Each structure stands twice: as C-alpha cells, then as structure tokens.
Amino acid sequence: MSPTTRKTRWTQVWRQLPFFVWLIALWMLLWGQFTVVAFVTGLLAAIFVTRVFQLPPVELSGRVHLWHGLVFIATFSVALVRGSLTVAWQVINPKHYPGTAIIAVPMRTDDDLILSHTAVTASLIPGSLIIDIDRDRRILYLHVIGVRSDEDVEAQRRSVQEWERRIVRALGSRVQVAQVMAESEARS
C-alpha cells in the first residue's frame, strides 16, 4: 500500500469517525446503559451497520467553529422556549385562531448535511414542521402556524434561512461560510 493510499484511507476514516461515534452513542442511549459492555456491543453494531449497509460517505468540512456552535445552541434554546410559549398561547386563546401556511424556503448551500441540519432545526422549533424537501432545487417546504400576512410568511422564511446561516457558520467549510455571508450582505 502506497503512502498516498494510506493517507487517503486515514482521511476517510477521520472524516467518518464522528458518524461512527454517533452510532455507538445512539446504541448506548437506546439501551440506556453507559457501560463497557454497551460500548463494545455498540461498536460491533456500528461496524456491522457501516459494512453491511454501504451508504455513500458524508463528507464533513473538517471545520467546527466552537463560538458559532455555542451561538447556535443558545439561539436554538431561546427559539425553542419562545416557540413553545407561542404555540401554547395559541392553543389556550379561544378568541384567536392562528393562521397557517405552507411556505417554500430556498436554501443557499447545496450540502446535504447542512440541508438536513437546517430541516431538523426548523422542525424542532414548535410552530413549524418540514413537510417536503426538494433536494435538487434546494428548497424546504414547511407547514407553519401563527401567520396572518405575507410579512409573517417572509419573516418565517428569513428565520429558516438564518438557521441555515448559523449552521453553516458553525459547521460549514470556509467556501460555504463565504458564500452564505456574501448572500446575507447582498440581501441587506
């Protein structure tokens, strides 16, 4: 095996390591045990799953920006609480029927991982739910509640695009960050 092939193989292993570790952690969470036996069986299950079900490798950018990751977590936590309170108020207020809409949100990046993270984030915040993803055109379709006007729809669309920007700044490659920041500045 040549040194170049060996280096390429180690690069592939390094890039897939977070997913492998996630499978082990998921196994341990599913069993509710954080023991050596659970780790070993999770390791065996992860090896089995990754070898039997050959999925295309997901390429990570190799870049994690901790500050922007913390900003994402903090803003997500606030949005989660705010969304929960808003939906709870809409449910208990009998005089007010919250408007609903299905909106299309164009994404700026074409990275599947960023698209998935954005879709999950948008769905976890109460008041919105991803109903479809057009991967080829990079569009997320959401069902949202609490909209009464076109301005509310645009605000919701900008909110999802802002989540994408935060995720890219935390996990995206330098090229993706530059692209998203340039488009954000152009819209401002």
What is the per-residue pLDDT across 126-148, written as a single tens digit (0 to 9) for each? 989 999 999 899 999 999 998 88
Query: 43 and 85: one domain?
Result: no
Whether 39 and 106 share a structural domain: no
pLDDT at 62 over 80: no
In a domain, 43, yes or no: yes
Residue 61 falls within a domain, yes or no? no
Indicate whether 45 and 108 sit together in one domain: no
Q: Find the domain containing 74 and state its range.
A: 66-187
Same domain for 179 and 86? Answer: yes
Judgement on whether residues 163 and 74 belong to the same structural domain of the protein: yes
- Residue 7 domain-assigned? yes
Q: Is residue 118 part of a domain?
A: yes
Residue 60 falls inside a structural domain = no
Residue 147 covered by a domain? yes
| Shared domain check, 131 and 94 | yes
pLDDT at 1 over 60: no
Question: Are 180 and 96 found together in one domain?
Answer: yes
Asked whether residue 70 falls in the same domain as residue 155, the answer is: yes
If asked whether residues 127 and 179 sit together in one domain, one would say yes
Is residue 59 included in any domain, yes or no? Answer: no
pLDDT band at 55 (very low <50, low <70, confident <90, very high): low
Same structural domain, 71 and 163: yes
Residues 178 and 116 in one domain: yes
Q: Given this model, what pLDDT does residue 146 score?
A: 84
pLDDT digits (tens, 9 = 90+) for 82-104: 999 988 888 888 777 778 899 99
| Residue 159 resides in a domain | yes
134 and 162 together in one domain: yes
The predicted model gives 103-114 an average pLDDT of 89
Tally of domains within the chain: 2
- Give the global pTM: 0.69
Mean pLDDT of the chain: 84
Phi, psi of 17 (to 5 degrees): -55, -45
Q: How far, rounded to the nearest angstrom, does the alpha carbon of residue 166 sit from its chain's CA centroid?
A: 10
